[in-house]
Amino acid sequence: MLSALSIILVLSIKSMDISAKDYHQLRIMVRAIPPDPYAPQLVPFILENKLDTLVYQLAQAPGVKEMYSGTNNTATIEFQIYEKLRELASEKELNELLYHDSPVVNVYAYRALRTNQMTIDCDVETSLLSDTTCLEWYINENLITTTVGEIIQTPF
C-alpha cells in the first residue's frame, strides 16, 4: 500500500513538472517571456498594455501628422493613434509622456493634455515651448521642418 502511494505521489510530481515546463514553453512561444533573458531579442516583446503600444507606435512615427492627409482627406494613422492615446491616458500619464525621448510623443501628449483640458506641468511646458529639437510636421501633403516649440505654440 505504501509503495502504491509513493508511486502515485511520484507520478503526480512528475506530471506537475511536465505541465510547468509546457507552460514555460507556451510563455516563450507567445513572447511573454524571453527564451534566454541574457540574449538580445530580434523581435521586440509585446508591450505591457495598450498605452505602451500607442506610445511605441507614436515614437516610431517620422513626424507629427495632422488629422487628414492627401486629396481624399483620409485620417492619418498617427492621428488615429493620438486619438486613442487621448482617450486612454490619464492626466498623470500624459504629463509623464512630456518627458519622453521622442519629440513626436511630446507633441502629441501636450496636445492631448490641451484637448482634454487637463493640467500641464508648468516647468515641462516652459521647456517644451523653448525646445528647439527639429522634427517634421505633415500638414495635408505639405512637409514642414520645424521645432517642437513652434508646433506647440501653433493652435491645432
- How does pLDDT run across 53-97, given as a tens digit for each residue? 888 888 888 888 888 765 666 778 888 899 999 998 889 989 988
Question: What ranges do the domains of the chain cover?
Answer: 1-39, 50-153
CA–CA separation, 139 vs 156, rounded Å?
Answer: 11
3 state SS of 156: coil
Q: Please state the rounded mean pLDDT for residues 106-119.
A: 92
In the chain, what are the helix, strand and coil shares in percent, each to the nearest 5? 55, 10, 35
What is d(CA 134, CA 86) in angstroms, rounded to the nearest whole number?
24
User: 107 to each of 13, 33, 51, 147, 156, how far by Cα in Å?
Assistant: 55, 32, 16, 10, 11
Q: Per residue in 135-154, pLDDT tens? A: 988 887 788 899 998 988 88
Residue 125: what are its φ and ψ, rounded to 5°?
-60, -40
Cell of 66: 495632422
Distance (Å, rounded) from C-alpha 71 to C-alpha 35?
A: 47
- pLDDT category at 116 given cuts 50, 70, 90 is very high
In this prediction the pTM is 0.66
Residue owning grid cell 511520484 = 10
End-to-end CA distance of the chain: give it in Å, rounded: 80
Closest to 76 (Cα-Cα) out of 55, 62, 93 = 62
Work out the burial of residue 145: count CB atoms within 10 Å of its CB; fewer than 13 is exposed, 13-18 middle, 19 or more buried.
exposed
